[in-house]
Amino acid sequence: MLQIFTPPPTSKTSAFQGEPSLTPEAEAHSARSQAQPGSEILEALPRLNKCDSILQTLLEDFRIIFERDPAARNWLEVLLCYPGFHAICLNRFAHWLYLRKVSVIPRLISHIGRLLTGIEIHPGATIGKGVFIDHGMGVVIGETAIVGDYTLIYQGVTLGGTGKETGKRHPTLGKNVVVGAGAKVLGNISVGNNVRIGAGSIVLRGVPSDCTVVGVPGRIVSKQGVGCPLEHAQLPDTQATVIRSLCDRIEKLEQQLQDLRK
């Protein structure tokens, strides 16, 4: 028995040219390819660029450790033994999920990072590139906090809120900020670029760029600009200065009182 061959459904024979023609979908794809050579690659470039940007950020996070910490000996030691780097890496993944409205998982990653490193960074916090958390134990960074590029944060630092208000309620740090051990920066305030915050300080008001802040509450004691090192041994003691001025004033008043009695 003779069998009649039937053309596959993906193509059909043209009544005018006697040649097979493509389906409408295949024709559209062919037209796009002919009109824009390499169009598929062009469409994939934004995704590739984004992945490349994330990789560059992680590499910068890794590189800055050798610049900031003289105890960093080799890449393997940093990769395995620096909790600040681990916390930053976990936060970048959690933040990526947070921006895509993924529920629970970002907070779970943040919680795991806290258990492993002692550093609590809310997945909603925005962390710039090259941020280094040195030692890191006890660091807390709130949901709406923004940390600028190349900021250095020591152990025990809190970037927190001052109440239960909603919206932006955590501080914004500029670039190249140094926050000393145990310092607290609280509320929706802005800290400028190249600011140095002394250990144990409590900052409740905004700070302009290129300043050094110490004390409780934090007071501006220096405006030396970019490159001013945070040398705690050389920072002025603002409370001692106030006490000395009060003692001098009391001594002068006592002297005036004695002169009047004469």
CB contact at 8 A, 83 and 116: yes
pLDDT number for residue 164:
79
pLDDT over 70 (residue 226): no
Average pLDDT, integer, range 118-136? 94
Cα distance between residue 60 and residue 51, in whole Å: 14
pLDDT over 80 (residue 231): no
pLDDT number for residue 37:
47
pLDDT number for residue 43:
55
- pLDDT-above-90 percentage for the chain: 52
- What domains sit in the chain, N to C, each tagged with a CATH number? 46-229 (2.160.10.10)
pLDDT number for residue 23:
59
pLDDT over 90 (residue 141): yes
* pLDDT tier, 185 (very low <50, low <70, confident <90, very high otherwise): very high
Q: What is the maximal distance between C-alpha atoms in the chain?
A: 143
Between these two residues, 202 and 13, which has the higher pLDDT value?
202
Name, in order, each residue with C-beta under 8 angstroms of 153's C-beta and a sequence gap of 6 or more: 84, 131, 132, 133, 134, 136, 139, 147, 179
Lowest-confidence pick of 41-50, 168-177, 191-200, 232-241: 41-50
* Mean pLDDT taken over the chain: 81
CB contact at 8 A, 210 and 193: yes
- Length, in residues, of the chain: 262
Name, in order, each residue with C-beta under 8 angstroms of 162's C-beta and a sequence gap of 6 or more: 169, 186, 187, 204
pLDDT number for residue 42:
44
DSSP, res 188: S
pLDDT number for residue 33:
46
pLDDT number for residue 225:
56
Average pLDDT, integer, range 54-73? 90
Supply the pTM of this predicted model.
Answer: 0.70
Average pLDDT, integer, range 94-105? 93
* pLDDT tier, 9 (very low <50, low <70, confident <90, very high otherwise): low
Residues 133-162 as b or e (16 or more Cβ within 10 Å = b): bbbbeebbbbbbbbbbbbbbbbbbbbbbbe
